[in-house]
Amino acid sequence: MSDHRAVDVDVAIIGAGPSGAVAAALLRKAGHSVRVLERQQFPRFSIGESLLPQSMAYLDEAGMLQAVVEAGFQYKNGARFVRRGESSSYDFRDKHTPGWGTTYQVERATFDDLLIRCAAEQGADVRFGHTVNAIETGERPALDVTDEAGTQYRVQARFVLDASGFGRVLPRLLQLETPTRMPTRAALFTHVRDDMPLRAIDREKICVAVHPEHGNVWYWMIPLAGGRASVGCVAESDFLQCTESERESRLRSLIRQEPTLGAWFGDAPFLMPVRTIGGYAANVARLHGPGFALLGNAGEFLDPVFSSGVTIALRSAHLAACVLVRQLSGAAVDWQIEYDDELRRGIDVFRAFVERWYSGELQDILFHAEQAPQIRRMISAVLAGYAWDETNPFVKDAGRRLDTLHEICKATR
């Protein structure tokens, strides 16, 4: 149904992915009117299929946990790292930070659709096929929107949240994008048929494997429900350069080059055309402005290696909703301190881990033969998504602690 007049709501949310859905549900719980504007139709494919346990608390608070638990997704309790015959597993239940230690590996088309349907059931007005073309910022921001029939209309709101993910609607419209410190990387990926015997692989852990010759090239293997697995290779864009017609053979060759994944899936049928995503690392000058804030990937995306994307998205939705509920009730809020700085604290922890993964230092730590149990639990907590817990030394001072630990690992090799 199209609107031919201006719509007035408390909060307009651009994008119906996980951050938009959770923000919508939390704002509805607080009694605010919400319209979600989603350009695509759901369900639709998305990458980012391995959740982190910290996400579960936000799904619970948003009233979505039961639906997720009952959906039949693949259970997940940790991560396994593989490099040149070495293997190192982390169980996220054995971690420094209290809280959830388990989660799920999900097909995002189903997962994202489930979350936004939950938000709609809680009263969010969700419109699919509605594209935001322009914004007027300020005390009463306004969005110019076009629906699928081509009808244009305006949404007036007390506040706008951009949850548009890689679409990055407001950064594009308001010229907010700034260079990221991360190199330009890309991924080639598909789903494969997983005919492995039940005990042949630990289906309850994501597997992250390092290319045997190139330490900055890595693979993911994410077991999914229903006899599928998601498999992808990440490298600097030039390394993966190929034409569309060459993608399948390129990915097949790369899988066979890594002994563990090659043995598992070297000949496994691909269940969908090989896809690619590139240049996904992104940053913005600020995560908020007059009448708006950016959630999840619309603001900053680092790298997929530790599956932090959805956790950062849900953390941003929770933080923004908390600040916004207070603002809409008339309280004085500071978006810079309470949202921007707070969200970036955890992003910077993940950044320290990501940078040291690619430099090789973190790989040396993860594969070190003698790992102190207490330090393992601290690292496990970050890998489980608890990147804002400053009781953890590897959160409070991530870069320096990792560098010191790497020196110790070198000395005791």
| Mean pLDDT to the nearest integer, 196-220 | 89
Q: How many domains does the chain have?
A: 3
Which residue is listed with tokens 């936000």? 58
| Mean pLDDT to the nearest integer, 347-367 | 96
Residue 292 placed within a domain:
yes
Whether pLDDT at 198 is above 70: no
Residue 80 placed within a domain:
no
Whether pLDDT at 2 is above 50: no
pLDDT in tens, 8-42: 999 999 999 999 999 999 999 999 999 999 999 99
Q: Which of the four pLDDT bands, split at 50, 70 and 90, describes residue 295?
A: very high
User: Which pLDDT value is given to residue 303?
Assistant: 85
User: Which pLDDT value is given to residue 194?
Assistant: 85
Whether pLDDT at 153 is above 90: yes
What percent of the chain clears pLDDT 70, i.e. is strictly above it? 97
Query: CB–CB of 282/351 below 8 Å?
Result: no
pLDDT in tens, 373-383: 999 999 999 99
Same domain, 25 and 170: yes
Whether pLDDT at 350 is above 90: yes
Whether pLDDT at 330 is above 50: yes
Same domain, 222 and 154: no
User: Which pLDDT value is given to residue 197?
Assistant: 66
Same domain, 150 and 203: no
Looking up residue 111, the CATH number of its domain turns out to be 3.50.50.60
**End position of a domain, from candidates 294, 310, 345:** 345
Please state the φ and ψ torsions of residue 232, each to the nearest 5 degrees: -150, 160
Same domain, 50 and 11: yes
| Mean pLDDT to the nearest integer, 127-151 | 96
Same domain, 306 and 246: no
Instruction: Determine the Cα–Cα distance for residues 198 and 201; give it in Å rounded to an integer.
Output: 7
Looking up residue 228, the CATH number of its domain turns out to be 3.30.9.100
Pairing relation of β-strands 292-294 and 152-162?
A: parallel
pTM: 0.95
Same domain, 30 and 134: yes
| Mean pLDDT to the nearest integer, 88-95 | 97
The conformation of residue 238, written as its DSSP 8-state character, comes to: G
Same domain, 239 and 125: no
| Mean pLDDT to the nearest integer, 62-75 | 98
Whether pLDDT at 231 is above 90: yes
Residue 209 placed within a domain:
yes
Whether pLDDT at 187 is above 90: yes
| Mean pLDDT to the nearest integer, 203-231 | 95
Same domain, 146 and 199: no
Measure Cα distances from 217 to 44, 97, 307, 349 in Å. Answer: 28, 30, 16, 21
Please state the φ and ψ torsions of residue 85, each to the nearest 5 degrees: 85, -15
HSE-CB for 226 with a 13 A CA cutoff: 11
Mean pLDDT of the chain: 94
Instruction: Determine the Cα–Cα distance for residues 145 and 135; give it in Å rounded to an integer.
Output: 9
Please state the φ and ψ torsions of residue 184, each to the nearest 5 degrees: -80, 105
Whether pLDDT at 282 is above 70: no
Measure Cα distances from 14 to 3, 320, 338 in Å. Answer: 17, 14, 21
User: Which pLDDT value is given to residue 298?
Assistant: 85
Q: Which of the four pLDDT bands, split at 50, 70 and 90, describes residue 60?
A: very high
Residue 98 placed within a domain:
no
Instruction: Determine the Cα–Cα distance for residues 221 and 362; give it in Å rounded to an integer.
Output: 19
DSSP string, 150-198: S-EEEEEEEEEEE--GGG-HHHHHTT-EE--SS--EEEEEEEEE----T
Q: Which of the four pLDDT bands, split at 50, 70 and 90, describes residue 128?
A: very high
Instruction: Determine the Cα–Cα distance for residues 211 and 215; give it in Å rounded to an integer.
Output: 6
Measure Cα distances from 147 to 3, 33, 170 in Å. Answer: 9, 20, 18
Whether pLDDT at 1 is above 70: no
Same domain, 292 and 379: no
Q: Which of these, 146, 56, 79, lies nearest to 304 by C-alpha position? A: 79
Residue 316 placed within a domain:
yes
Same domain, 208 and 269: yes
**End position of a domain, from candidates 319, 345, 371:** 345
Residue 93 placed within a domain:
no
Instruction: Determine the Cα–Cα distance for residues 119 and 64; give it in Å rounded to an integer.
Output: 8
Residue 96 placed within a domain:
no
Whether pLDDT at 3 is above 50: no
**End position of a domain, from candidates 254, 278, 302:** 278
What residues form DSSP beta bridges with 159? 11
Instruction: Determine the Cα–Cα distance for residues 273 and 92; give it in Å rounded to an integer.
Output: 33
Same domain, 65 and 170: yes
Measure Cα distances from 378 to 288, 310, 391 in Å. Answer: 31, 21, 10
Same domain, 172 and 288: yes
Give me the domain span that covers residue 330.
6-75+105-179+281-345
Name the 3-class secondary structure at 73: coil
Whether pLDDT at 301 is above 90: no
Please state the φ and ψ torsions of residue 265, each to the nearest 5 degrees: -130, 15
User: Which pLDDT value is given to residue 285?
Assistant: 83
Residue 88 placed within a domain:
no
